[in-house]
C-alpha cells in the first residue's frame, strides 16, 4: 500500500513541476503587463528556465523523465501496473500523460524553451542592486 501512495504522491509532484513550467510563461507575460514584481525575480526565472531546459535536453537526448520512471517502479513494487490505482492518481495521471509521437513532445518542449528564453529578453528579470559603501 505504501508504494501505491508514494507513486500517487510522485504523480502529484510531477504535476506540480509541469504546472510550474507550463503556467510560468503566461504568468510572466501577464505579470509584466499587470506590473507584478515577482515575475521579474531572477531566482524564480532561473528556476523556470532551468526546469524547461532540463526537460528539453532530456527530450533531445531521448531520456525518459526520471519522475515517470520512478512512478512506474513504485507501481510495480506495489504489485500493480504503471496505471495509477487511486482516484487522484488516475486523475492527475490522465492530465499528465497522453499519446503522441515522441518527436511531437520534443518539438513542443524545445519550442517552449525558446519561448522562455524570449521572455528573458521581453520581460527581463531584475537583479538586486548592490549597495556601495563609500
Q: Going residue by residue through the chain (134 aa), what tens digit of pLDDT does each one get?
A: 889 889 889 988 988 999 999 999 999 999 999 999 999 999 999 999 999 999 999 999 999 889 888 988 998 898 876 555 555 556 666 766 667 788 888 898 999 999 999 999 999 999 887 766 65
What is the 8-class DSSP label of residue 86? S
CA pair distance 1, 77, nearest whole angstrom: 10
Structural domain includes residue 60: yes
Q: Which domain holds residue 14?
A: 2-122
Structural domain includes residue 132: no
CA 19, chain centre distance (Å): 6
Asked if 24 and 48 count as a contact pair (C-beta separation under 8 A), the reply is yes
pLDDT score recorded for residue 78: 85
What cell does 73 get? 517502479
Domain count, the chain: 1
pLDDT score recorded for residue 80: 74
Whole-prediction pTM value? 0.81
Amino acid at each position: 500500500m505504501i508504494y501505491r501512495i508514494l507513486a500517487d504522491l510522485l504523480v502529484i509532484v510531477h504535476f506540480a513541476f509541469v504546472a510550474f513550467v507550463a503556467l510560468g510563461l503566461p504568468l510572466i507575460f501577464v505579470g509584466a503587463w499587470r506590473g507584478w514584481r515577482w515575475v521579474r525575480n531572477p531566482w524564480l526565472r532561473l528556476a523556470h528556465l532551468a526546469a524547461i531546459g532540463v526537460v528539453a535536453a532530456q527530450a533531445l537526448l531521448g531520456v525518459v523523465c526520471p519522475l515517470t520512471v520512478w512512478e512506474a517502479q513504485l507501481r510495480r513494487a506495489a504489485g500493480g501496473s504503471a496505471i495509477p490505482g487511486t482516484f487522484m492518481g488516475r486523475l492527475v495521471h490522465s492530465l499528465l500523460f497522453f499519446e503522441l509521437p515522441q518527436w511531437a513532445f520534443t518539438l513542443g518542449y524545445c519550442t517552449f524553451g525558446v519561448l522562455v528564453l524570449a521572455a528573458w529578453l521581453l520581460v527581463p528579470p531584475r537583479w538586486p542592486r548592490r549597495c556601495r559603501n563609500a
